[in-house]
Amino acid sequence: MILATIMIPTQLLMIPTYILFANLGLLNGLGAAIVPWLATAFGIFLMRQFFLSLPVELEEAGAIDGCNRWQVFFRIVLPLARPALATLAIFTLLGAWNDLVWPLIAINNQQAFTLQLGIANFQGAHQTDWSLIMAGNVIATLPLILFFLFAQRQFIATMTFSGLKG
């Protein structure tokens, strides 16, 4: 059922999401741009598949050593999940960072505009300052490149781990 929600177009969910955020008081701030990306069907599916690929024997070994379920999770499973969490962080960051339509709807305060909204404001009705738009695009790309370089090892580890059969 959760996986089926990926097929629902994002544009169809914008009005209900806007109403929900208006009722929660999260509009006109960066919370409106961040909160919708915290839990997605893709993220749930990716982490579920990763946890299913972990051998049950690891959890059983932790239980035999005297760990309760929380200790097994925090001491054994979570350190093994770091590559999958890094991969999910990369995909989530890319989706949230490049989003223009939802922040355009949810944020009306110019002080809380995302970088993409600021770049979009450089385009006018009669004149466009292309040099400012291109400079803004370069600046908008640099944090993503730095984040990917930082998390590249974890991303590759996830791809390598997912190809192993035990």
Q: In whole angstroms, give the CA distance from residue 59 to residue 78.
A: 11
- Total domains in the chain come to 1
| Predicted local distance difference test score (pLDDT) of residue 155 | 67
Q: What CATH number has the domain bearing residue 139?
A: 1.10.3720.10
| Predicted local distance difference test score (pLDDT) of residue 166 | 47
Q: Where residue 157 falls among pLDDT bands split at 50, 70, 90?
A: low
Reported pTM: 0.73
Contacts of 28 (CB under 8 A, 6+ apart): 106, 107, 108, 109, 112
Write out pLDDT tens, residues 61-86.
Answer: 888 888 898 998 998 888 888 888 88
pLDDT at position 159 over 80: no
Structure tokens at 133: 């738009």
The more confident residue out of 160 and 65 is 65
Q: Where are the alpha helices (DSSP H) in the chain?
A: 10-24, 30-34, 41-53, 56-64, 69-72, 78-80, 82-97, 101-106, 115-120, 130-162
Average pLDDT, the chain: 84
Mean pLDDT over residues 82-109, rounded?
A: 85
Residue 56: domain span: 3-162
